[in-house]
C-alpha cells in the first residue's frame, strides 16, 4: 500500500484517485471546491462516468479513499502527489496554467517531508521544469522533491477501463530514482512503461492527441469527397482499417471531435509551434476541417428540407460524445446556434447532459425522452450516438 495525494477531482483527478485506491493504495483527494468535496463525501459525483459512483463508494467504505479541501491533510503521509487540475485554453490558444501554478505553490508551502510531484494534467512542453522552479522558490525551507511527468490517456465514458487497462504508461523525469518509484506504482496495471525526459513525455501526450484528431478530420474530409463521388465512406473506412499501418480506430465519419482534450490540445500544440517559429499547417487544417464539419451537417439538412427557416429540428444527444455529461466544446452548441440563426426551432435530449446543456443553451427546448423529442420535429440530427438512439 502506498500513500497518494491527488490534487483536483475532475475527470482525471477523480479517476486517478478512485482507481489507485481500488488497486489497494491509500488515497486522499484534495480540491479547493467545498461544494464538490461535500458532495463527494455524500456520494454525489461531479461528473457522469460509468462505474465511477460504485468505485468511489466501495473505496470510501474500505477507508482507502477520502476527500478534503485541506492540502495539509492530503499531504500528511503522502509519498506521491498527482497534480490533476484543469488547463483550459487562453484566448490565444496557450494553455492556462494558473491552477497548476497555484497547486505547485501550495504543495511547496505545505509539504514537510520529501515528495514525488507528478504532473498528470495536460501541460505545455517545459511545464515540468517550470513546476520544479516554482516549488523551489515557494518552499519556506528546502525539502527534497522530484517532478515526474505522467500524462493521462483517458477517454471520457471509458475512463476507468482506460486507467485499469492502459496501452502504455509514459513517465518523464530527470530523476531516474523518482521515475522508477512512479513506475513501480503503475506495475499492477501490467502495461509497457516508457521512461524518458520531462519534455519528451509532455510532447508524447500532445502528439498523440493531435494525431487522433488528425484521423478524425481526415475521414471527415474523405466523407465529403465520397458524397460527391457516390462512394460509401463507412465501407471506405472499414477497408482502410484492415491495414495495420492505419488501424480502424478514429476513422468514423461524423460531426467532428469535441470535449476537453482534443480541441484545446491541438490548439495549444499549434500555439507552441507558432511561438517557436514553426508553421503548423497540418494542425491548422485539422482544426479548420473540424469547425467546418459542424456547419456541413446543417447545410446537408438544408438540402434535404429545402429550407430550415420555420422548421423544428431535434438534436439526439447534447454532450460532445456518448457516456458523458461533458458539454465542453460540444458540437451541439455550434449546430444549435447555427440552426437558430437560420430560423429553426431547436429541441434537444441527452441521457446525461440535460442539466449542463440547460445552462449553456437556455433557448433549447428540452425533451423528456427520444420519442418526446421526435414529436413535431421536421428532422433529427444524431449528435452523440448513445446506445438508446
Distances (CA, A) of 334 to 62, 156, 157, 162, 329: 44, 21, 22, 29, 9
Side-chain half-sphere CA neighbours of 156 within 13 A: 23
86's CB contacts (< 8 A; 6+ apart) are 8, 10, 99, 121
Of 96, 92, 104, 140, the residue nearest 7 (C-alpha)? 104
Residues marked active site are found at 261
Q: How far apart are CA 46 and CA 37, in angstroms?
A: 9
Q: What is the 3-state secondary structure (H, E, C) of 193-222?
A: EEEECHHHHHHHHHHHHHHHHHHHHHHHHH
Residues in the chain: 389
291 grid coordinates? 469547425
Side-chain half-sphere CA neighbours of 187 within 13 A: 9
Task: Tally Cβ neighbours within 10 Å of residue 229.
Answer: 7
Side-chain half-sphere CA neighbours of 125 within 13 A: 17
Amino acid at each position: 500500500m502506498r500513500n497518494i495525494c491527488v490534487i483536483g477531482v475532475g475527470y482525471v483527478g477523480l479517476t486517478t484517485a478512485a482507481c489507485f485506491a481500488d488497486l489497494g493504495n491509500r488515497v486522499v483527494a484534495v480540491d479547493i471546491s467545498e461544494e464538490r468535496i461535500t458532495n463527494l463525501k455524500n456520494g454525489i459525483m461531479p461528473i457522469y462516468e460509468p462505474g465511477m459512483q460504485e468505485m468511489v463508494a466501495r473505496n470510501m467504505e474500505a477507508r482507502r479513499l477520502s476527500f478534503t479541501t485541506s492540502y495539509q491533510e492530503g499531504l500528511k503521509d503522502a509519498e506521491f502527489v498527482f497534480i490533476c487540475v484543469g488547463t483550459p485554453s487562453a484566448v490565444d490558444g496557450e494553455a492556462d496554467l494558473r491552477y497548476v501554478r497555484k497547486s505547485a505553490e501550495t504543495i511547496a508551502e505545505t509539504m514537510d517531508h520529501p515528495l514525488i510531484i507528478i504532473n498528470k494534467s495536460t501541460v505545455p512542453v517545459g511545464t515540468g521544469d517550470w513546476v520544479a522552479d516554482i516549488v523551489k522558490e515557494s518552499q519556506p525551507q528546502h525539502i527534497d522533491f522530484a517532478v515526474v511527468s505522467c500524462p493521462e490517456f483517458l477517454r471520457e465514458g471509458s475512463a476507468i477501463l482506460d486507467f485499469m487497462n492502459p496501452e502504455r504508461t509514459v513517465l518523464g523525469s530527470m530523476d531516474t530514482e523518482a521515475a522508477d518509484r512512479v513506475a513501480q506504482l503503475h506495475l499492477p496495471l501490467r502495461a509497457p512503461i516508457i521512461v524518458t525526459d520531462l519534455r519528451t513525455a509532455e510532447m508524447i501526450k500532445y502528439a498523440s492527441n493531435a494525431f487522433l484528431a488528425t484521423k478524425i478530420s481526415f475521414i471527415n474530409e474523405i466523407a465529403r469527397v465520397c458524397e460527391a463521388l457516390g462512394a460509401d465512406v463507412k465501407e471506405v473506412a472499414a477497408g482502410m482499417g484492415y491495414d495495420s499501418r492505419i488501424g480502424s480506430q478514429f476513422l468514423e465519419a461524423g460531426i467532428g471531435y469535441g470535449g476537453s482534450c482534443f480541441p484545446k490540445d491541438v490548439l495549444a500544440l499549434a500555439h507552441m509551434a507558432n511561438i517557436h517559429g514553426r508553421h503548423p499547417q497540418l494542425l491548422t487544417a485539422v482544426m479548420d476541417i473540424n469547425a467546418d464539419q459542424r456547419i456541413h451537417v446543417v447545410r446537408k439538412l438544408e438540402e434535404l428540407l429545402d429550407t430550415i427557416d420555420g422548421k423544428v429540428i431535434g438534436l439526439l444527444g447534447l454532450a460532445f460524445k456518448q457516456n458523458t455529461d461533458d458539454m465542453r466544446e460540444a458540437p451541439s452548441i455550434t449546430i444549435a446556434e447555427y440552426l437558430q440563426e437560420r430560423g429553426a426551432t431547436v429541441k434537444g435530449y441527452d441521457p446525461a447532459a440535460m442539466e449542463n446543456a440547460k445552462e449553456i443553451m437556455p433557448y433549447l427546448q428540452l425533451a423528456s425522452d427520444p420519442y418526446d423529442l421526435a414529436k413535431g420535429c421536421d428532422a433529427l440530427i444524431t449528435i452523440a450516438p448513445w446506445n438508446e438512439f
